């Protein structure tokens, strides 16, 4: 098995993906052709192909392609053909995607990269890329892209349990695109951020009907029922019973172990 290499697909930053063999590299290319730019054809990648994969002839051909200043699609085609990974039709499709990406303005390329990070759960790189988009003075996002950026920033902060910040970004997205989906996300963030009375006050301040908020309450009620029926929900209920019982020592010991388990689960979640 080969050692790993960290794939670089953008001048902006790494995509934090490691591959172990030439087939995994080919799979990555096919699935993420819209992320590739000239920085993909790095010395590190060529050296990895030569030294770790043992494909020295392929590495030499890739060096020749780079010396000739041939387009990235030719570099990629050498890799895919060497592994006999795709047919001609798929190879042409990947070439078209790479050429389209080359002609895309910087805003579009950054949007693709930020969305990629978000889909993969890499929240901080996604957040930083969206913030970079917001800070662009020339050729920055249009109104449609701004709404998407604000919405996705809301998603990131909600996933990080920062519900006040999430609600703020959802509100900005809603002002640009007053859709029910964004309103639902906004109300969900507010529902998690505020107490019952504060949330009702917030609801009354909105000029909207109650359809979305009613749907949110149905979803939350269903989620609470599912949690109560789950193993973790049952464990929480047992902890509640111990708390109101007479054995305070048993409650304290169980509460400590429960919280340690929850902290560990949270750390693993944030590390993924």
Q: What's the pLDDT score for residue 2?
A: 56
Confidence category of residue 195, pLDDT binned at 50, 70, 90: very high
Range of 36's domain? 5-103
Check whether residue 97 and residue 115 sit in a common domain.
Answer: no
| pLDDT tops 70 at residue 16 | no
Using CA atoms, how far apart are residues 126 and 113, in angstroms rounded to an integer? 8
The tokens describing 257, both together, are: 């172990």
The model's pTM is 0.74
Q: What's the pLDDT score for residue 193?
A: 95
Decide if 157 contacts 163 (C-beta within 8 A).
yes
Q: What's the pLDDT score for residue 244?
A: 77
How large is the average pLDDT for residues 7-15?
51
Q: What's the pLDDT score for residue 12?
A: 44
How large is the average pLDDT for residues 154-180?
96
Q: What's the pLDDT score for residue 7?
A: 59
Using CA atoms, how far apart are residues 272 and 22, in angstroms rounded to an integer? 24
Instruction: For residue 225, tell me if it sits in a domain.
Output: no
Check whether residue 152 and residue 79 sit in a common domain.
Answer: no
As a whole-number percent, the residues of the chain with pLDDT over 90 amount to 56
Question: Containing H/E element for 97?
Answer: helix 88-103
Using CA atoms, how far apart are residues 78 and 85, in angstroms rounded to an integer? 11
Check whether residue 143 and residue 174 sit in a common domain.
Answer: yes
Number of domains present in the structure of the chain: 3
How large is the average pLDDT for residues 62-85?
91
Check whether residue 194 and residue 118 sit in a common domain.
Answer: yes
Using CA atoms, how far apart are residues 184 and 215, in angstroms rounded to an integer? 8
| pLDDT tops 70 at residue 271 | no
Instruction: For residue 218, tell me if it sits in a domain.
Output: no
| pLDDT tops 70 at residue 152 | yes
Check whether residue 111 and residue 203 sit in a common domain.
Answer: yes
247: left (phi over 0), alpha (psi -120 to 50) or beta: beta
Instruction: For residue 257, tell me if it sits in a domain.
Output: yes
Q: What's the pLDDT score for residue 208?
A: 76
| pLDDT tops 90 at residue 264 | no
Check whether residue 77 and residue 112 sit in a common domain.
Answer: no
Task: Identify the domain boundary among 52, 81, 103.
Answer: 103
Nearest one of 155, 207, 201, 161 to 182, comparing CA atoms:
155
Instruction: For residue 222, tell me if it sits in a domain.
Output: no
Q: What's the pLDDT score for residue 11?
A: 44
Name the DSSP class of 205.
H
> Hey, how many other C-beta atoms are within 10 angstroms of the C-beta on 240?
11
| pLDDT tops 70 at residue 56 | yes
CATH number of 179's domain: 1.25.40.10
How large is the average pLDDT for residues 103-110?
89
Check whether residue 75 and residue 112 sit in a common domain.
Answer: no
How large is the average pLDDT for residues 224-247?
80
Check whether residue 14 and residue 81 sit in a common domain.
Answer: yes
Instruction: For residue 226, tell me if it sits in a domain.
Output: no
Check whether residue 97 and residue 116 sit in a common domain.
Answer: no
Check whether residue 99 and residue 115 sit in a common domain.
Answer: no
Instruction: For residue 220, tell me if it sits in a domain.
Output: no
Task: Identify the domain boundary among 55, 70, 103.
Answer: 103
């Amino acid at each position: 098995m080969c050692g790993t290499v960290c794939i670089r697909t953008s001048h902006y930053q790494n995509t934090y993906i490691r591959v172990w063999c030439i087939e995994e590299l080919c799979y990555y290319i096919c699935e993420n052709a819209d992320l590739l730019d000239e920085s993909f054809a790095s010395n590190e990648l060529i050296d990895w192909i030569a030294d770790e994969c043992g494909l020295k002839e392929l590495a030499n051909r890739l060096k020749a392609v780079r010396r000739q200043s041939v387009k990235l699609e030719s570099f990629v085609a050498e890799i895919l053909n060497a592994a006999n990974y795709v047919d001609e039709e798929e190879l042409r499709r990947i070439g078209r995607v790479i050429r389209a990406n080359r002609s895309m303005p910087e805003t579009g390329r950054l949007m693709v990269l930020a969305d990629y990070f978000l889909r993969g759960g890499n929240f901080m790189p996604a957040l930083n890329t969206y913030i970079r988009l917001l800070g662009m003075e020339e050729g920055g996002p249009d109104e449609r892209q701004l709404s998407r950026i604000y919405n996705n920033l809301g998603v990131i902060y909600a996933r990080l349990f920062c519900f006040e910040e999430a609600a703020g970004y959802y509100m900005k997205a809603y002002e640009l695109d007053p859709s029910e989906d964004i309103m639902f996300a906004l109300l969900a963030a507010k529902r998690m951020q505020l107490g019952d009375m504060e949330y009702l006050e917030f609801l009354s301040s909105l000029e909207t009907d109650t359809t979305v908020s009613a749907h949110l309450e149905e979803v939350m009620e269903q989620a609470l029922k599912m949690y109560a029926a789950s193993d973790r929900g049952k464990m929480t209920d047992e902890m509640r019973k111990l708390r109101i019982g007479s054995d305070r020592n048993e409650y304290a010991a169980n509460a400590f172990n429960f919280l340690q388990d929850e902290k560990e689960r949270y750390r693993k979640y944030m590390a993924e």
